[in-house]
Amino acid sequence: MQKPHNIPEILAILENQYGRAEWFPRFSPIEELVQCILSQHTSDTNSLRAFANLMQRYRTWQSVVDAPVKELADTIRTGGLADSKAPRIQAVLRQIKAEQDDYNLDFLEDMSDTEARKRLMALPGVGPKTAAIVLCFAMGRPVIPVDTHIFRVAWRLGLIEKRIGEAKAHDALQALVPPELVFRFHVGLITHGRQICKALNPRCGVCPLTAHCQAYQSATEPSSGS
């Protein structure tokens, strides 16, 4: 298992390879939440197109809630799984409105990271990854969203154990990464997972992290590539 003090060194290598990520809010928290639901089990390109279609057709969140579910599903069809995502989006929006009497997540600002994540996960169909994405990307909180790329690279490096699974990996990685490095580390790891440390054919031959990689050192993963 890697020690916490190796995190800055790993990050420095990743940033030398891919550049340093700077945080800025892409969407408001509630927009990020809806976009994240749309992004499940599809590509960023498809989900962003579906989100743009939704925002263009419906000018308010109330109009999204009031829309016939089939109409909403047809609007977000490019994001995939539209027939299940449409009612989920409406259910999330209805609960937010019922609890806050408004369509926003401003109340999260006064909560700790742990409290805010718990409140988000109380919404219909919102799991740890979605909650972490909202907190990290929309609010700049030091919370690590763990997707399949983050999880794969982290256990190959030896930062976490593979057997704990993605859900528990959020807390495990959170305990290792200094808060001020969380966003940059997240972006570095996910970029590395997409470009080099791939699921089926990791490009170990060009990987700058082999000296830190437990899988590479123990030869439990393929160690060749280009």
How far apart are the C-alpha atoms of 216 and 207, rounded to whole Å? 10
Q: Are 37 and 125 spatial neighbours (Cβ–Cβ below 8 Å)?
A: yes
Sort residue 41 into left (φ over 0), alpha (ψ -120 to 50) or beta: left
Residue reference for tokens 């123990």: 218
Residues with a known catalytic role: 129
Q: Between vectors from CA 68 to CA 120 and to CA 73, what angle results, nearest 5°?
A: 65
Please state, in angstroms and as integers, the Cα–Cα distance from residue 177 to each residue in 132, 189, 213, 216, following that order. Answer: 15, 12, 17, 22
Q: Dihedral, CA atoms, 97, 26, 128, 113, nearest 10 degrees?
A: -80
- Going by C-alpha positions, the residue among 97, 178, 179, 106 that lies closest to residue 138 is 106
